[in-house]
Amino acid sequence: MVAFTGFRSSWLVQLSNVENEFEHEILFKYKNINGLAISGTPVFAYQKVLKKSTYDEITHDNAITKTHKVHLTYCQKIKDAPGKYHVTSRADGFFKVNIKSSQKVIGKDEILLPMGACQFCIRELFPDFLPPLGQDSEKCTELANNFNYADFIFEGRLLSNIAFNEYGALNRFVGERDWYQFSRDLRAKNNWNCEDCGINLLKYKHFLHVHHINHSHYWNTPANCRVLCISCHAEQPNHAHMKGDKSYEQFITQFKNK
């Protein structure tokens, strides 16, 4: 088995934006659980139409817990109402939704929402991973909301038809991405440049930050993150407090006051 340690943005090029009506075939069997795939490509199933009121609630609180959940298996929820679900191979953790208010669809295919994975699906796939049902629900939610779709879809494709039997080999899909490694990789991929002002900080890496667009430090996906120098970072909404930091002062004195 090839060891993957994080998100590969190059995967998105091959995998993104395949959308279809709901279909189902067996991707792999894990203790008789079916994954979801179309023509050999793993896909995720989710409800694409959101009520306007739900959407307003989510965006107001910035709460991923209030979105619909993304399904990784042909789980009971889907069996109950298969017609409601769309599938996608988009793997960065953001999903296209259509907002519906009193019969009218607003902004068709224009809105991307981050979504967490269905905890029933995770439990089915990795029975030992989440705390027992009804216990530590906060932890369960946190892990499900940090599901690593890219790793899952990629390994699902590589390993289709292999009977998975080591949960240890699979738990990397669920949350707790190594933040230090992720942040380093993302900044290195950007050649240690600020995405806004372009300053190169190869020699001063501590002045180069990773900013979370949605303000949630749990959502470590490239689509939700921007590489910014401390000065541009402080210009982001609700970040003015950074201007009081010592390192902000040092940075301005060293680079911006010339």
Provide CB contacts within 8 A for 138, sequence distance 6+.
none
Tokens representing 33 are 């659980």
Q: Name which position in 24, 232, 234, 251 contacts Zn ion (CB under 5 A).
A: 232
Long-range contacts of 99-103 (CB under 8 A, 24+ apart): 99/49, 99/50, 99/51, 99/52, 99/55, 100/49, 100/50, 100/51, 100/52, 101/51, 101/52, 101/53
Separation of CA 158 from chain center: 20
Closer CB to Zn ion, residue 164 or residue 192?
192
Q: Name which position in 43, 118, 186, 201 contacts Zn ion (CB under 5 A).
A: 118
| Euclidean distance between CA atoms 70 and 15, whole angstroms | 17
Rule CB under 5 A: is residue 229 a binding residue for Zn ion?
A: yes
Smallest distance, Zn ion to C-beta of residue 31, A: 16
| Euclidean distance between CA atoms 140 and 138, whole angstroms | 5
On the CB side of 16, how many CA atoms lie within 13 Å of its CA? 12
Q: Name which position in 37, 50, 130, 194 contacts Zn ion (CB under 5 A).
A: 194
Smallest distance, Zn ion to C-beta of residue 101, A: 27
Tokens representing 96 are 């296209």
Closer CB to Zn ion, residue 15 or residue 72?
72
Rule CB under 5 A: is residue 117 a binding residue for Zn ion?
A: no
Closer CB to Zn ion, residue 38 or residue 232?
232
Smallest distance, Zn ion to C-beta of residue 212, A: 6
Task: Find the distance separating the first CA and the last CA of the chain, reported in whole Å.
Answer: 53
Smallest distance, Zn ion to C-beta of residue 1, A: 25
Helices (H) and strands (E) in the chain, counts: 10, 11
Q: Name which position in 91, 121, 150, 170 contacts Zn ion (CB under 5 A).
A: 121
Closer CB to Zn ion, residue 76 or residue 181?
76
Burial code of 31-61, b = ≥16 C-beta within 10 A, e = fewer?
eebbbbbbeebbbbbbbbebeeebbeebeee
Q: Name which position in 4, 120, 167, 255 contacts Zn ion (CB under 5 A).
A: 120
Binding characters for Zn ion, 63-82, by CB under 5 A (x = yes): --------x---x-x-----
Window contacting Zn ion (CB under 5 A); options: 145-153, 174-182, 190-198, 247-255: 190-198
Tokens representing 200 are 């190169």
Rule CB under 5 A: is residue 174 a binding residue for Zn ion?
A: no
Rule CB under 5 A: is residue 196 a binding residue for Zn ion?
A: yes
Rule CB under 5 A: is residue 186 a binding residue for Zn ion?
A: no
Q: Name which position in 16, 204, 211, 242 contacts Zn ion (CB under 5 A).
A: 211
Chain residues in the site for Zn ion (CB under 5 A): 71, 75, 77, 118, 120-121, 194, 196-197, 211, 229, 232
